[in-house]
């Protein structure tokens, strides 16, 4: 029995040794795989960081360029509008000057017309007085001629 017991222990030791070797081999493979993955991650993380930084710079550049284009369009539109307002202001000033000149000429013409009408009125009044005197003299002279006859 003792011999059976020893065989059984020896068999279990052999099986245990086999399992231990298998587990050690698994642990070594897992360790190598972890090292390989760690090496890959050690390379991948900085690469991803650099790529994210480059992408952020590119995105910033594109956004800044887009904003600059928009601001340039706004500035161009404002400059054009300013030129149009300036042109319209000059036209308005010119039209105002023409109206002022016309009003001044109209006032001068009206003043001359009124002066002429005053002169004409004085002449008409003189003529009316002269006609009254002539009529009075004519009647007096008829009255004298009628009394002489």
pLDDT one digit per residue (tens) for the chain, 149 residues:
555 665 555 555 555 555 556 567 777 887 888 888 888 778 888 888 999 999 999 999 999 999 999 999 999 999 999 999 999 999 999 999 999 999 999 999 999 999 999 999 999 999 999 999 988 888 888 776 666 66
Q: Can you give the pTM of this predicted structure?
A: 0.43
Q: DSSP string of 129-147?
A: HHHHHHHHHHHHHHHHHHH
3-state helix, strand, coil in the chain (%, to 5): 100, 0, 0
Residue range 1-38, pLDDT digits in tens:
555 665 555 555 555 555 556 567 777 887 888 888 88
Q: What is the pLDDT of residue 46?
A: 87
CA gyration radius, the chain? 62
Q: What is the pLDDT of residue 29?
A: 83
Q: What is the pLDDT of residue 69?
A: 93
Q: What is the pLDDT of residue 96?
A: 93
Q: What is the pLDDT of residue 142?
A: 79
Q: Is 47 helix (H, G, I), strand (E, B) or coil?
A: helix
């Amino acid at each position: 029995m003792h011999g059976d017991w020893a065989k059984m222990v020896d068999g279990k030791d052999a099986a245990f040794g086999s399992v231990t070797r298998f587990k050690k081999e698994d642990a070594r493979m897992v360790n190598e795989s972890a090292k390989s993955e760690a090496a890959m991650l050690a390379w991948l993380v900085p690469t991803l960081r650099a790529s994210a930084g480059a992408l952020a710079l590119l995105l910033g550049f594109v956004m800044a360029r887009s904003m600059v284009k928009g601001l340039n369009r706004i500035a161009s539109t404002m400059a054009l509008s300013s030129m149009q307002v300036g042109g319209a202001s000059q036209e308005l000033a010119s039209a105002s000057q023409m109206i002022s000149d016309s009003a001044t000429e109209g006032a001068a013409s009206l003043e001359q017309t009124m002066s002429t009408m005053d002169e004409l009125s004085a002449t008409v009044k003189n003529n009316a007085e002269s006609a009254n005197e002539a009529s009075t003299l004519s009647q007096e002279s008829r009255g004298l001629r009628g009394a002489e006859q």
